[in-house]
Amino acid sequence: MSTAITTIMLEVTSNAFKENDLIPAQYNCDKGSVNPPLTINNIPAECKSLALIVDDPNASTARPYVHWIMWNIDPAIKTIEENSHPGIQGINEEGNNVYAGPCPKYGSPHHYHFKVYALNVMLDIPNNSGKDLLEEAMKGHIIARGEHIGLYGEDA
């Protein structure tokens, strides 16, 4: 089993917002905080599961603020629908197993990275896992990856 990340790139898009464009208000903390839809293309045939990490590197913390993590998503799905969770949701920065929409308190605009990983295994980690444990479990199993970036904040 290879430990290196390959150069295969997933195509991650959303029909709710274009790359580096504003994330609509219905997906933020003030308007219901439901996840936006994501479509994943170019999934390798050997993919056994997908994993998702949504984070904001512009947050005030020393590391990116984690808004959502999910794993063991069936690669046959290809679309994560709005307000859905087709995999196991882990713990976000607020300590919850849900999507936490954009909610910047300062320093606009913030960049929200919707990162998708194609894995050659199903992961066996508990649903109280956070981003660090998810990333550790994915090591050596990533066969493709991609991301879609959205903006949110007063100055976006």
Residue 142 lies inside a defined structural domain of this protein: yes
Residue 123 lies inside a defined structural domain of this protein: yes
Tell me the average pLDDT of the chain.
Answer: 91
Residue 76 lies inside a defined structural domain of this protein: yes
Residue 30 lies inside a defined structural domain of this protein: yes
pTM over 0.85, yes/no: yes
**pLDDT at 71 (0 to 100):** 98
Q: Give the domain CATH number at 127.
A: 3.90.280.10
Q: What residues in the chain have per-residue pLDDT under 70?
A: 1-7, 61, 106-107, 154-156
Residue 19 lies inside a defined structural domain of this protein: yes
**pLDDT at 7 (0 to 100):** 61
DSSP annotation of 27: G
**Residue 54: burial class (beta carbons within 10 Å; 0-12, 13-18, 19+):** buried
Paired tokens of 68: 């959502």
**pLDDT at 63 (0 to 100):** 83
d(CA 80, CA 43): 14
CA 87 to chain centre: 12
Residue 41 lies inside a defined structural domain of this protein: yes
How far from 125 is each of 39, 79, 89, 91, 122, CA to CA, in Å? 25, 23, 11, 12, 10
**pLDDT at 94 (0 to 100):** 92
Residue 5 lies inside a defined structural domain of this protein: no
The residue segments making up the domain with residue 20 are 11-152
**pLDDT at 2 (0 to 100):** 44
**pLDDT at 109 (0 to 100):** 84
Give the total number of structural domains in the chain: 1
Residue 127 lies inside a defined structural domain of this protein: yes
